[in-house]
A and B are shown apart, each in its own frame.
Chain A
């Protein structure tokens, strides 16, 4: 690696799932870049396709029901969709690490922590078992696990939730990846532990210079950890740009409503919160046109085609629906 400005470029990603009612499109033409050394957040409500997007990039969709049907996933100049299965094994876990949401289910309950950590090292590095074991202890130490020499011999159930998440992070970082995908890394954790874990990811990122994709539904986590944000709604990107732009000058009505609906510590007690009427349409009922117009039940003249992302100012893109933002053409 070296001279790529963006470690990952996702272009027009389409992912579909086979269901009883045919193929449904969970991700519909999502594009974004992950610059080197930066953290990009993907935020949206449940079912918006943020996890499917990230799992598509590392080929971890449930098969054969889930399939990437279109688009390009350019990682360090290579299209990951075009490389073969064996090569993908080297990249996933090696050059791309994944931190999963539930540390309880991400770890194998019947294997020792050390074995789960060395597994990834032995797979990707040409080292002996004892070297791997030594390295595993080093990594556990780095992610802030006290007395790692004895912890490597423990089973996941002997660790607390925060400790387990540290082990999951250790596994993701074991091979010093260039890109880490963190899928709701702190959702299952308490706030005090969450802040420990976010700080850990942040400090390791600075030290190793890796890029991070942070997937979360928590706008607070995004504001604190990310450089850039991708806001998704119903399988599509509605707005993306720098954290400052998105939080301070949100253009899409959905982004604005999402930010306004979080109760803040400064808002007056029991005041009325901004809401978004209705709920997200079911995936089988998605319209071709603007899906946020569908949610708002806007009738009359609406967009019949998929709104394109337009760049309204440098590195600030918004879905071009004349009803959902003021910047439409």
Chain B
């Protein structure tokens, strides 16, 4: 087993109902044909602007949404069509952690109840031993043992996120899907949580899918990074490679837009008009080419633009609007 997770051409289309009969009038194509793999113990970063489908993709992976089409293979088992009861034993191995620590923890549960819940459901160990496990988890995420009988409202944002981490790792998952885990936190606290996540990954050999919009954070924690735009992955490569040698214009644009905390650096900006278009009626050709008003946009209408491996380990969409001339010639040959 070389890949822990394999996602093939995954689609998540949400129906839009309208009119008095609530007829189906269209689809929001939130995730539209996404494929990637994750190896054991590695971190795949998933970046993109709001509305690009990165969170929807994360939720599909843990089957909080039922994907419309495609395949999710986890540890060589196809889990796309499993029923909820068939999924239950697998939940041990795939866990998810959410963005807002204030909303993802039940305010009426004590920390003991919150962290014990997965242990109870999966019946890990003896009942009498589970409190000791909770204490061990608290120690692992850097919370005092006295936290066990407190409630979420008694903690700060960073501490709540630590509780979320403790709950997510309680079952020793092989894969943890993290949906914007640090974006609600201040920088000094954010760095605490990031350090904790890196440390835990080393210790427990978990694979992470790290979803975030902050490119610097993603770069810091990821081994590989996938860039999403309008429901599709446009580029996926090693983190250093994607940051230092991006091929796709959208990746370049995103990178050039990050403000740098150094007043001596004046960055060259790639200017782009407007915003990410609605996934209800996405442009029929190159989505980013459309936003750029690219002269070659017309050519791309109806064109199949799959991801191609332009360099070992570096995949990019074969899009004539968004690649340099040489890159596109190379990519076209590979299609």
Which positions in A face B, CB cutoff 8 Å? 45-46, 160-163, 190-196, 198-199, 217-224, 243-244, 247-248, 257-259, 261-265, 267, 269-276, 279-280
Chain A contacts of B50 at CB under 8 A? 190
Known: A45-B187, A275-B191, A279-B156. A270 touches B262 (CB 8 A): no
Chain B contacts of A196 at CB under 8 A? 272-273
A-B pairs with CB below 8 Å: how many? 124
Closest chain B residue to A218 by CB distance? B259
Q: Do A259 and B261 touch across chains, with their CB atoms under 8 A apart?
A: yes
Report 11 cross-chain contacts, Cβ distance below 8 Å, ordered by A residue.
Answer: A45-B186, A190-B213, A195-B259, A198-B259, A221-B259, A257-B188, A258-B188, A261-B191, A265-B258, A273-B194, A275-B188
Which positions in B face A, CB cutoff 8 Å? 49-50, 156, 158-159, 186-192, 194-195, 198, 213, 215-217, 219-223, 239-240, 243, 253-264, 269, 272-276
> B260: which of A194, A217, A224, A270 is its contact (CB, 8 Å)?
A224
Q: Do A191 and B215 touch across chains, with their CB atoms under 8 A apart?
A: yes
Chain A contacts of B191 at CB under 8 A? 261-263, 273-275
Q: Do A162 and B263 touch across chains, with their CB atoms under 8 A apart?
A: no
> A192: which of B158, B188, B253, B261 is its contact (CB, 8 Å)?
B253
Closest chain A residue to B47 by CB distance? A191
Q: Do B259 and A192 touch across chains, with their CB atoms under 8 A apart?
A: no
Closest chain A residue to B187 by CB distance? A261
Chain A contacts of B269 at CB under 8 A? 195, 199
Q: Do B275 and A270 touch across chains, with their CB atoms under 8 A apart?
A: no
Q: Do B213 and A219 touch across chains, with their CB atoms under 8 A apart?
A: no
Give complex CA distance A46, B190 in Å: 12
Chain A contacts of B260 at CB under 8 A? 220, 223-224, 264-265
Given contacts A196-B272, A257-B188, A263-B217, 17 further A-B contacts (CB under 8 A): A45-B189, A162-B274, A190-B50, A190-B276, A191-B258, A192-B253, A194-B259, A217-B187, A223-B263, A224-B263, A248-B264, A261-B188, A262-B216, A262-B261, A275-B188, A275-B191, A275-B192
Chain B contacts of A191 at CB under 8 A? 49, 213, 215, 254, 257-258
Chain B contacts of A190 at CB under 8 A? 49-50, 213, 275-276
The 8 A-B pairs with the shortest beta carbon distances in the complex, nearest first, are: A220-B259, A263-B220, A273-B191, A45-B186, A190-B49, A261-B191, A276-B188, A219-B261
Chain B contacts of A261 at CB under 8 A? 187-188, 190-191
Chain B nearest CB, measured from A33 CB (Å): 19
Chain B contacts of A217 at CB under 8 A? 186-187
Q: Do B216 and A265 touch across chains, with their CB atoms under 8 A apart?
A: yes
Give complex CA distance A248, B261 in Å: 10
Chain B contacts of A243 at CB under 8 A? 263
Chain A nearest CB, measured from B273 CB (Å): 8
